[in-house]
Amino acid sequence: MRIALEEAQAAADKGEAPIGAVLVDPATGEVLARAGNAPISRSDPTAHAEILVMREAAQRLGNYRLTGLTLVVTLEPCAMCAGAISHARIGRVVYGAEDPKGGAVAHGPRFFEQKTCHWRPEVEAGVLGAESATLLRDFFRARRKPAKAEAAF
């Protein structure tokens, strides 16, 4: 999760929502891919951190099935990412902060609990969740602050 948090901070430094992800082979401990959110910089609405690491690992491994791997992400995955996780056959998902508004694992559609979900990973929530939530909260709070009015002369 520390690596995912580094990726989240790097994304924030580029003006992207501070969400980071890492895909790990638990058998070897090898980090297969790491990324931060990049939909703005890539002009790609699907460039969520989770999608980027799955794409990179699939290319690296030469297989779209990522069975047995562990996805670590700083924020509860959305419906799009949960669907991709299921299709990729990710073995385990570990996430930090919960996302009551846009999350799809413990909130919203609870994707992995649906009868139509054909692959359900093991899920662990709340790992460094407070740290992940603080990074997100601070990023968006800074964006909402009104700019100081210039003094009138």
Just list the catalytic residues.
50
What residues contact residue 115 under an 8 Å CB cut-off, 6+ apart?
A: none
Residue 13: HSE in the Cβ half-sphere, 13 Å Cα cutoff:
8
